[in-house]
Amino acid sequence: MWTSMLLTLATYSYVLYKDTAAFRFAEHSFMATTFAVAVVVAYQTLVSNAFLPIAKGDFSYIIPIVLGLLLYTLPFKRVRWVSRYPLAIIVGVGTGIAIRGAVHAQMVGQVLAAITLPKTPTPMDWFNFFFSLIAFLTSTSYFVFTKEHKGLFKIPTQIGRYMLMLALGSYFGNTILFRMAMLSGRVEELLKVFGIIPWR
């Protein structure tokens, strides 16, 4: 308990004072533990995802293990190229997953949401509908790359920038809430450990 709080204070010394030896100590201790935890977790992942299936007779899992080991050719100049094969699978999976999610939820889904009319609308609902529709259209125009933002085209892109700022500002404000709550939680623990306020 005490250790963790001393390490926390050491970390905050970087922010509140400057890069101190205490911060270095916290930093390196943290890295060492994380490395160790990562190794242990990786080992457990391998056991449950690869070794156990192999032990049960599913030998197909030898393939990814061999592929993974190919990564370690990296330091050797002549055979370095084989490390590209395991990467090909990783990158392929990542790109595929990213694309498929993007097209459905982020593109078609957004258009659908933008044109969905309010049900049983009040005048305010209509205003809100048109406001977000226009905000969507204008701010998208800001992201046109094959046309310089000049002349008539400057008007929608300018409004679009304002709309983007409105969105980003609200996001900024909202994030402050969570971050302050986190920090105040650490302050609370500090005060408790040092006996300044009682444990409830």
120-149: contacts with another protein (CB under 8 A): 120, 128, 131-149
Give, in order, the Cα–Cα distances in Å from 165 to each of 89, 153, 160: 39, 19, 9
Shortest distance in whole angstroms from residue 193 CB to another protein = 10
**Which residues lie below 8 Å from residue 20, measured CB to CB, with a gap of 6+?**
10, 13, 14
Question: Is 88 near another protein (CB under 8 A)?
Answer: yes
Shortest distance in whole angstroms from residue 10 CB to another protein = 9
Measure the CA–CA gap between 125 and 178, rounded to whole angstroms. Answer: 30
Q: Is 177 exposed, middle or buried (0-12, 13-18, 19+ CB in 10 A)?
A: exposed
**Which residues lie below 8 Å from residue 87, measured CB to CB, with a gap of 6+?**
71
Q: Applying CB under 8 A, what is the total number of residues that bind another protein? A: 141
- Is the distance from CB of 65 to CB of 55 less than 8 angstroms? no
Question: Is 108 near another protein (CB under 8 A)?
Answer: yes
Lookup: tokens for 145: 């790359």
Q: Considering only residues 141-200, where is the footprint of another protein by CB under 8 A? A: 141-149, 160-177, 179-188, 191, 196-197, 200
Question: Is 91 near another protein (CB under 8 A)?
Answer: yes
CB-nearer residue toward another protein: 155 or 170: 170
Question: Is 112 near another protein (CB under 8 A)?
Answer: yes
Q: Considering only residues 5-34, where is the footprint of another protein by CB under 8 A? A: 5, 7-8, 11-12, 14-19, 21, 23-34
Shortest distance in whole angstroms from residue 16 CB to another protein = 5
